[in-house]
Structure 1
Amino acid sequence: MYALAAYLLFMAAALLPFWLASYKKSTLLADSEYRDPGSNHINALRGLAALLVALHHSVFAYNYYHQGSWSLSEGNHFFSTENDYPLILLASFGYVPVMLFFMITGYLFGNHGIKNNGINIPLFYYKRFARIVPQYLFVLVAVLFVSFAMGLKPSTTLTEILRFIVSWLTFGFVEPVSFTPVYRGSLIVAGVIWTLAYEWMFYLAFPAIIAFICLFRNKVACLAVAIITIAAVCKLGVINEKNATLALCFGFGILAALLHEYYPELKRVLVNKLFVLFAIASVVIMVWGLKYKAYSIYSAPMLFPLFISVASGASLLGLLKFMPLRLAGTASYSIYLLHGVVYACIFTWTHLSFIPGVIISLLITASVSMLTYRWVERPFIKQSKKAVYAFTPANAKE
């Protein structure tokens, strides 16, 4: 009960700024409204996923800055050691949302590519750059300032600072270095940038993936065979399980888009309450069965029913209709990148204990994420949308 009360308290703190913002007309509120219920619910799911990642990293961050160990158990005094389920649940708050993020990516891009029978490659990469890079650079500047404030290593040189900057500019392809003894590598951002490397790998591969799928008449069968092949190759030991699992997440996202395109009548079944309950039960069984094993090839297919149900318009028994979650979804990228930096500041510069420290951190993260979405992310998103208009055939002749 203690763990459940803590989770609910933390989630309430994270949602409070978005709840307040939902009562005021703003660009964030306007950008969080979609005509399609599936899009609204996917956006809310993305917000829930980002907040769960931030919640997941709360114990890790506190243990790291107070005990020197990035773990759930070392120095952990917040959950009963007699029953490890709270820790299992908290661990799942990390990997399940990441898998959902990748399914969402696969679904959104797959949907666009299928409807247009391919993609405009230069425009695709321009939009990806505009969406990912500006906020990432903002966070990099924040990391620089916080690192200087924490105190540099005695032997820090200009060369080491430049090495620090270059390593962070690889977007997770190279583990970032640190020039302060307070944290190692990318832990100042809770280690989340490794996922950006997988996102970029998917972006690089996507034009070829969608072109390959479009070669086949039965695109659903083609992708199903590809998914089975990835799982089989993994079981043979050719690729490691983590890489296979994340590839499956992108694949299942595209599969959801294909099923919606070619079998739209399925949506009525997928939003049915019985199917939603089945999908939720599948996730619960997955979390309990896998326990601390984060990425398993069995987890992606067990998570897929929940995802495709939401993409079809299911609200998960009304949860995803909650407007603050939609707003959090719009600002989810900022939440994802910023929460680790906020934890670092709060747990390093204050003497707050775990619960008040996490509450303050989540309040700050949510509030700042709305500002960075408005002033950092949105201008570039808007600019990329103008580029889409400029590239349309109607305007190409002008």
Structure 2
Amino acid sequence: MQAARFMVEGHSVGVDATFVQIGVIAAAYLVAVAATPIASWIVGQGRSAGRDEGLDGMRGAAAVAVVGCHLNQYMCAFLGYTNPFIGDHLGILAVQLFFALTGYLFTDRAIIGRIDPFAFYVNRMRRILPLYVFVVFTALAIALSYSWKTVAPLDHSLREALSVLAFGLWKPDELWFRGINMLSLVGIAWTLSYEWAFYMILIPALLLWRSGTLARVCMALVVLAFLFRDFYFNSEQVIWPFFLPGIVAAMLKHRRPWWLGGVCVALVLPSVLLIIWVPGFWTPVKLALATLVFFAVLFGRPRCLSWAPLQTLGMISYSIYLVQYLVLYPSVRLIYTSPALASVEARLGMGIVIALATIILSAITYRFVERPWLTGLRSTVAPVNSASVELPGIREEAL
């Protein structure tokens, strides 16, 4: 019997493909949740006091959504489905929520008070760079293991390695090392370039914001002008506006209407469904829908996000986000080169192994790479007599 078909983003999509994608993403979440006892044992430490459970739960759910997105792409390619739209849209939504979270956390903690800019930037580097550098060197080691027979000049290989290391600051369209496409190993880190841009703009922007009402009006008009220009002329791949939901949420935090959280929670399911079905990724419509979802998390405080497994996943979410390609790429290479893994059952099983290995490896890297750098971070709140900026103290939190 021929499967029923319908149109999604101009492509004919089978109902069977839809159920496969839902199954793959659901399986990714089930495996991740099942792995949390092991992850908790590896981490060996509970949550830090004062952390926001709702935001940590969102981190965990979003990180697993990105893993599910990539597993879905692999499984759809294997089964011959050319449009893995459900996983792609959920994965992009997860990244958009991470951007909104960054905008919220640092704007919220920078509205009043005093900040030491030097300590702020040092802390951000200590939070982000150790794991990123570990991932890059691991990716280079994996690439070397696949290309050890390749003859290449040493200086050329070193230049390529430096380009890979610099990928987290800017994202070229191509990234190669000894004939290996390194985007397959570190490409997930493309979002870090936008994070760094936000941090660089944050303190100068807040200085200007505090200078008076006229400056605030001018800043708002400039942002709106850039927003209109970029969406009007590009319509796709306009990424920077997805920090705005978090910035706006921070400004609304203490003056929002009482009904806002409840309304956003009521609209969150229709919003997610529209995110999946409406064409495009980084569009004005998706910006509005992602804003509703983020406001629902922040102001609606869904209890489900306080669930213990999501809290564990949220703790290690930065590792989940960055190390997944280190597991996925070698696994997919093995799958497509090993005759023993040619069956549907074997490849489905490998998908489960990939998800499980990603969570376990993420717990290990959090414990031994991330966490040692999280202790003893300098306070961003400067002493009264120091050369400080009249901005709020920003408490360091995980991405």
With structure 2 as the length reference, what TM-score do the two structures score? 0.81
The answer to whether the Cα contact below 8 Å between 1:14 and 1:359 also exists between their aligned partners in 2 is no
1:367 aligns with 2:356: no
User: Compared with structure 1, are the counterparts of its residues 223 and 54 closer, same or farther at alpha carbon in structure 2 (3 Å cutoff)?
Assistant: farther
Structure 1 letter corresponding to 2:79: H
Query: Alignment partner of 1:30: what SS?
Result: coil
Q: Deviations over 1:313-346 (max 9, x none)?
A: 521xx43122111211121111111001101122
User: Compared with structure 1, are the counterparts of its residues 275 and 193 closer, same or farther at alpha carbon in structure 2 (3 Å cutoff)?
Assistant: closer
1:137 aligns with 2:133: yes
Q: Give runs of aligned pairs for residues 318-333 of structure 1, distance below 5 A.
A: 318-333=303-318
1:30 aligns with 2:47: yes
Structure 2 letter corresponding to 1:89: I
Deviation, structure 1 residue 302: 1.7
Q: Deviations over 1:211-230 (max 9, x none)?
A: 22223449997776455333
Q: Say which of 96, 111, 131 aligns to 1:114.
A: 111
What residue in structure 2 maps to residue 69 of structure 1?
A: none
What residue in structure 2 maps to residue 68 of structure 1?
A: none
Structure 1 stretch 18-27 or stretch 208-217: which is displaced more? 18-27
What residue in structure 1 maps to residue 264 of structure 2?
A: 275
Which 5+ residue runs of structure 2 have no aligned equivalent?
1-18, 387-399
Query: Alignment partner of 2:151: what SS?
Result: coil
Q: Say which of 189, 202, 205 aligns to 1:206.
A: 202
Whole-angstrom CA distance in 2 between matches of 1:339 and 1:145? 16
Whole-angstrom CA distance in 1 between matches of 2:216 and 2:300? 21
With structure 1 as the length reference, what TM-score do the two structures score? 0.81
1:311 aligns with 2:298: yes
1:43 aligns with 2:56: yes
What residue in structure 1 maps to residue 288 of structure 2?
A: 301
Q: Deviations over 1:340-382 (max 9, x none)?
A: 1101122223544432122111111101111111111111121
Whole-angstrom CA distance in 2 between matches of 1:100 and 1:340? 20
Whole-angstrom CA distance in 1 between matches of 2:358 and 2:92? 20
Q: Give runs of aligned pairs for residues 25-104 of structure 1, distance below 5 A.
A: 26-27=44-45, 29-31=46-48, 34=50, 39-60=52-73, 62=74, 75-77=77-79, 87-104=84-101
User: Compared with structure 1, are the counterparts of its residues 362 and 218 closer, same or farther at alpha carbon in structure 2 (3 Å cutoff)?
Assistant: farther
Q: Give runs of aligned pairs for residues 287-298 of structure 1, distance below 5 A.
A: 287-290=276-279, 293-298=280-285
Query: Alignment partner of 2:182: what SS?
Result: coil
1:4 aligns with 2:22: yes
What residue in structure 1 maps to residue 34 of structure 2?
A: 16
Deviation, structure 1 residue 40: 1.1
Whole-angstrom CA distance in 1 between matches of 2:154 and 2:189? 24
Structure 1 letter corresponding to 2:287: A
Q: Deviations over 1:105-124 (max 9, x none)?
A: 000010011133x6421111
Whole-angstrom CA distance in 2 between matches of 1:394 and 1:271? 37
Deviation, structure 1 residue 271: 3.2
User: Compared with structure 1, are the counterparts of its residues 94 and 30 closer, same or farther at alpha carbon in structure 2 (3 Å cutoff)?
Assistant: closer
Whole-angstrom CA distance in 2 between matches of 1:108 and 1:48? 18
Which 5+ residue runs of structure 1 have no aligned equivalent?
64-71
The answer to whether the Cα contact below 8 Å between 1:102 and 1:246 also exists between their aligned partners in 2 is no
Whole-angstrom CA distance in 1 between matches of 2:131 and 2:332? 23
Deviation, structure 1 residue 172: 4.6
Superposition CA RMSD, Å: 2.9
Structure 1 letter corresponding to 2:188: V
Whole-angstrom CA distance in 2 between matches of 1:375 and 1:125? 22
Structure 1 stretch 2-11 or stretch 353-362: which is displaced more? 2-11
Deviation, structure 1 residue 173: 1.2
